[in-house]
Structures are given as structure tokens and as C-alpha cells.
Amino acid sequence: MSFESTLSILMLLASAVACQQSDPQPLEGGLLIRLNASNVRYALYTESAYTAGSVLPISEGEVTSSPQQITFMNLNHGNYVFQYCGANCINRTVQVTGGKTREYSF
């Protein structure tokens, strides 16, 4: 085999390897929140919307018995504010990681 033939084959192989694409990382993830409280209302906000004020939550609901598991799926990665209110409101910052379900207990 000549030098030119060997060089051509090596360049072809290098091009094939360089063109391979890896699967993109998912941008959405989930939250599993274990809430040890009863008779409270909860809401989930994006951190930027919560900071801006007077914005509707992404999700809201009510917990009547304790402990309770609340699941949020298909959320964009980033920071969120989980708020639960009984006699007082408590805000917790939670984070969504793409391709994963993060778990928190409050």
C-alpha cells in the first residue's frame, strides 16, 4: 500500500470520528418534594418570576395530610422557589437539573 493510500484512509477515518455527534443533554428535569406538613397550601415559582413579584405560580395545590410527596416533571433546568403556607409562609430554593429528578425534604 502506498503512502498516499494510507494517508487517505487515515484522513477518512479521522473525518468520520470527528463528525460523530453525541446525544444532547436534556434540558428538562423534575422535582420530588417530601413535605412533612399538613393543612398547608404550596406553590412553585421560577426564581426569576418570584423575584419579580406578583407572578402566578407554575403549579399550586394543597396538602391535607403529612407526610406528602409532591412531584413536578418536565421543568426547565434552573432555580425555583417552593413555597408552602400554613400559619406562616416558608420559601425554599430548589434546583432542577436536566435529565434528573432532584429530591428535597422539608
Confidence grade of residue 9 (pLDDT, cut at 50, 70, 90): low
pTM of the predicted structure, to 2 decimals: 0.74
H or E element that contains 79: strand 78-85
The total domain count for the chain is 1
Mean pLDDT within 14-18: 60
Residue 92's pLDDT is what?
97
Distance CA 69, CA 54 (A): 27
Question: Which structural domain, as residue segments, surrounds residue 51?
Answer: 25-105
The one-letter code for the residue type at 64 is: T
Q: Is residue 2 part of a domain?
A: no
Task: Give the Cβ contact number of residue 57 at 10 Å.
Answer: 17
Residue 24's pLDDT is what?
73
Q: Where are the alpha helices (DSSP H) in 27-81?
A: 47-52
Per-residue pLDDT tens for 43-99? 999 998 888 886 789 999 999 998 999 999 999 999 999 999 999 999 999 999 999
Domain harbouring 35, CATH code: 2.60.40.10
